[in-house]
C-alpha cells in the first residue's frame, strides 16, 4: 500500500465528466465501446479530409442547445467546431456532476473556475475568415464582417474556456492551456493546482480540438507521423500503438471536460466522486519540435516526480494509460521512460493506448484519456490495445493487453507527450 500521501493541501476529486469522441457522442457510449470491442470500427473512412459537419451530424451536435437564460440556437450554430465540441462535453460533465446553476455562479472566496485548452482550435474559423476576405477582395459581398467577428470570438485559443465560463457563469477566472498533444492533461493539472492551493472549489477542466484541414494534415504528412491503412486488415488497423510494424497515428477530433471539486465541495453537495487526482507533475523535453529524448529521461523524471508527490511506489501502480501515438520514436521513448521510472515493476503493470480505436485527438487527447483514466479508476477496468497485432520485440516483456482487463486496487498513471517537448503525468486513484 502507498505510504503517507503528499504535499497536496487539498484533494481534487473528479465528480463528473463529458466526452465527445469518434467512438461516441457521450462518455457512456465511448466507455462502453472501449471496454467491449476488440477492434477499431470507427476510423475506417478512407478520405482523411471528410466533412467536419458530417462528423457533427453523426454525433448529433449540428445544433447545440443555447445557454440557459440567454443566447440563441443560431449563435451556437456559428461556433467554431472546437468550441462546439468543448461546450457539448461541458454540458455532459456539468449534468453528470449534478451541478446546479448557483454552484458555478456563486461569487465568494473560492468561485468556480475554468481551465480549458486547445492545441489547434480555431483553425477552421480562421480558414473561413481568410476565405471570406479573399472573396471580398474579388468584389463579392460575403458577410465578411460577420465572419471576422466570429473569428475574433471563436478563433483565439481561449475561446472554449471563455465561452464555457460564460455559459455556466463561472466567475473565478479562466485559463487556456496550449501545450500541443499534452494540452488536456496540463489543463487538468492547472485545475488540480487551483484546488490544491485553496483558490477554487469547483473547476471545469479539459480540452478540445478539431483540425482535420488540408493545412494540418499536410503538415503531419510531411513530418511522416500519419499512419496508412494496414496492408491486409485495412484502415481500422492503421494506428497500432506498440506494434512491431507501427507507422503513426490517425488524426481525429473531440473533447473532454472534467468537473474537479475540493473535498469541501464534495461533502457540501453530498456527491460521490468517480476518482481522486492523487498527484501530478509536468516537465519539458528540450530535444526540439518533433524530436524526442530517445532514452526517455525527461518523461521518466516527470513520472517519478508524480509518484513521489503522491507517496506511491512503482509497485502500487494498477495500470498505465499511455500516450502511445504509434509512431516508432514516441512509443519507444515512452516505453524507455516507463522502464526507467518503474524499474522492475515495469513488466507487471498493464500499459494501454486507446489511440488505436479513437485516433489521436491532438490537443483533446490528454483530457479525453484522463477522463477515461477516471472511468477506469471508478470501474476498475481498463480498455485494451485493440489494434495491437504483434508487439514490438523490444516490448515483448511488457504487459500489453489486447482485450479490456479488470484492475486491482491502486492508482492509474496517465502520461502525455506533446510536440515541442510538453510532458505531463497524472495519477488517479479511488476517492
275-284 and 254-262 as β-strands: parallel, antiparallel, unpaired? unpaired
Q: Are 45 and 235 in contact (CB under 8 A)?
A: yes
| Rounded Cα distance, 13 and 415, in Å | 19
Give residue 135's pLDDT: 62
- Nine cell digits for residue 66: 443555447
Res 209 pLDDT > 60? yes
User: Where is pLDDT greater, at 75 or 23?
Assistant: 23
List of residues 6+ apart from 391 with CB closer than 8 A: 242, 243, 244, 398, 400
> Sorting pLDDT into bands at 50, 70 and 90, what band is 221?
confident
Res 288 pLDDT > 80? no
The domain at 12-122+157-429 falls in which architecture? 3-Layer(aba) Sandwich (3.40)
Give residue 134's pLDDT: 61
Strand, helix or coil at 207? strand
Give residue 143's pLDDT: 65
Q: How many CB atoms lie within 10 A of CB 8?
A: 20
Give residue 137's pLDDT: 59
| Rounded Cα distance, 46 and 50, in Å | 9
Res 242 pLDDT > 60? yes
Q: Are 383 and 35 in contact (CB under 8 A)?
A: yes
DSSP letter string, 126-185:
HHHHHHHHHHHHTT----HHHHHHHHHHHSSTTHHHHHHHHHHT--S-EE----GGGHHH
Give residue 186's pLDDT: 97
Percent of the chain with pLDDT over 90: 61
Cα 312 versus chain centre, distance: 24
Cα 192 versus chain centre, distance: 15
Enclosing H/E stretch for 283: strand 275-284
* pLDDT (average), residues 249-261: 95
- Nine cell digits for residue 19: 466526452
Q: What is the pLDDT of residues 295-331, one digit of tens each?
A: 889 999 999 999 999 999 999 999 999 999 999 999 9
- Nine cell digits for residue 148: 471576422
Range of weakest confidence among 130-139, 350-359, 367-376, 406-415:
130-139
Percent of the chain with pLDDT over 70: 79
Res 54 pLDDT > 60? no
List of residues 6+ apart from 131 with CB closer than 8 A: none
Q: Are 52 and 315 in contact (CB under 8 A)?
A: no
Give residue 393's pLDDT: 97
Give residue 155's pLDDT: 74
| Rounded Cα distance, 64 and 160, in Å | 14
Give residue 147's pLDDT: 65
What global pTM score does this model have? 0.87
412-418 and 319-321 as β-strands: parallel, antiparallel, unpaired? parallel
- Nine cell digits for residue 347: 513488466
Q: What is the pLDDT of residues 343-355, one digit of tens each?
A: 999 999 999 999 9
> Sorting pLDDT into bands at 50, 70 and 90, what band is 8?
very low
Distance from first CA to last CA of the chain, Å, rounded?
15
Half-sphere exposure of 237 (CA within 13 A, CB side): 18
* pLDDT (average), residues 190-203: 95
Give residue 297's pLDDT: 94
Give residue 285's pLDDT: 82
Q: What is the pLDDT of residues 106-127, one digit of tens each?
A: 766 788 999 999 987 767 766 6
CA angle 250, 429, 207 (to 5 degrees): 40
Res 266 pLDDT > 80? yes
* pLDDT (average), residues 236-253: 93
Q: Are 129 and 150 in contact (CB under 8 A)?
A: yes
Res 74 pLDDT > 50? no
Res 34 pLDDT > 90? yes
* pLDDT (average), residues 159-182: 92
CA angle 281, 204, 121 (to 5 degrees): 85
Give residue 380's pLDDT: 98
* pLDDT (average), residues 20-28: 90
Q: Which of 11-15, 45-49, 156-160 has the highest mean pLDDT?
A: 11-15
Output the average pLDDT for the chain: 84
List of residues 6+ apart from 313 with CB closer than 8 A: 2, 3, 307
Give residue 306's pLDDT: 98
Res 76 pLDDT > 70? no
Strand, helix or coil at 291? coil
Q: Are 337 and 304 in contact (CB under 8 A)?
A: no
| Rounded Cα distance, 266 and 16, in Å | 11
Give residue 128's pLDDT: 63
Give residue 345's pLDDT: 97
Cα 84 versus chain centre, distance: 16
Amino acid at each position: 500500500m502507498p505510504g503517507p500521501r503528499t504535499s497536496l493541501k487539498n484533494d481534487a476529486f473528479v465528480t463528473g465528466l463529458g466526452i465527445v469522441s469518434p467512438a461516441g457522442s457521450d462518455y457512456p457510449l465511448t466507455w462502453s465501446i472501449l471496454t467491449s470491442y476488440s477492434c477499431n470500427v470507427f476510423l475506417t473512412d478512407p478520405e482523411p479530409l471528410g466533412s467536419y459537419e458530417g462528423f457533427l451530424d453523426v454525433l448529433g451536435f449540428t445544433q447545440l442547445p443555447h445557454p440557459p437564460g440567454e443566447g440563441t440556437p443560431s449563435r451556437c450554430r456559428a461556433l467554431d467546431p472546437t468550441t462546439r465540441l468543448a461546450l457539448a462535453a461541458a454540458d455532459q460533465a456539468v449534468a453528470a456532476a449534478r451541478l446546479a446553476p448557483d454552484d458555478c455562479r456563486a461569487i465568494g472566496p473560492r468561485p468556480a473556475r475554468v481551465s480549458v485548452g486547445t492545441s489547434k482550435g480555431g483553425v477552421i474559423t480562421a480558414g473561413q475568415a481568410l476565405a471570406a476576405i479573399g472573396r471580398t477582395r474579388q468584389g463579392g459581398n460575403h458577410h465578411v464582417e460577420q465572419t471576422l467577428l466570429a473569428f475574433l470570438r471563436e478563433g483565439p485559443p481561449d475561446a472554449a474556456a471563455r465561452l464555457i465560463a460564460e455559459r455556466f457563469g463561472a466567475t473565478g477566472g479562466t485559463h487556456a492551456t496550449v501545450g500541443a498533444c499534452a494540452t488536456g492533461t496540463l489543463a487538468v493539472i492547472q485545475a488540480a493546482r487551483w484546488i490544491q492551493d485553496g483558490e477554487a472549489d469547483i473547476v471545469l477542466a479539459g480540452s478540445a480540438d478539431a483540425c482535420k484541414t488540408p493545412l494540418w494534415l499536410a503538415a503531419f504528412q510531411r513530418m511522416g507521423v500519419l499512419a496508412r491503412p494496414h496492408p491486409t486488415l485495412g484502415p481500422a488497423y492503421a494506428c497500432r500503438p506498440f506494434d512491431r510494424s507501427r507507422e503513426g497515428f490517425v488524426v481525429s477530433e473531440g473533447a473532454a471536460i472534467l468537473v474537479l471539486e475540493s473535498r469541501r465541495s464534495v461533502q457540501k453537495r453530498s456527491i460521490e466522486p468517480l476518482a481522486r487526482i492523487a498527484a501530478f507533475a509536468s516537465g519539458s523535453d528540450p530535444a526540439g519540435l518533433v524530436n524526442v529524448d530517445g532514452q526517455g529521461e525527461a518523461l521518466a523524471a516527470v513520472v517519478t516526480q508524480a509518484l513521489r508527490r503522491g507517496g506511491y511506489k512503482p509497485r502500487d501502480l494498477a495500470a498505465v494509460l499511455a500516450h502511445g501515438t504509434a509512431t516508432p520514436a514516441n512509443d519507444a521513448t515512452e516505453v524507455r521512460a516507463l522502464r526507467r521510472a518503474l524499474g522492475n515493476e515495469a513488466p507487471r503493470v498493464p500499459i494501454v493506448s486507446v489511440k488505436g480505436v479513437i485516433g489521436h485527438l491532438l490537443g483533446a487527447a490528454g483530457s479525453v484519456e484522463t477522463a477515461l483514466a477516471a472511468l477506469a479508476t471508478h470501474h476498475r477496468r481498463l480498455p485494451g490495445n485493440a489494434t495491437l497485432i504483434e508487439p514490438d520485440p523490444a516490448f515483448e516483456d511488457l504487459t500489453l493487453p489486447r482485450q479490456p482487463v479488470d484492475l486491482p486496487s491502486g492508482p492509474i498513471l496517465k502520461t502525455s507527450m506533446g510536440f515541442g517537448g510538453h510532458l505531463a503525468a497524472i495519477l488517479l486513484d479511488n476517492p
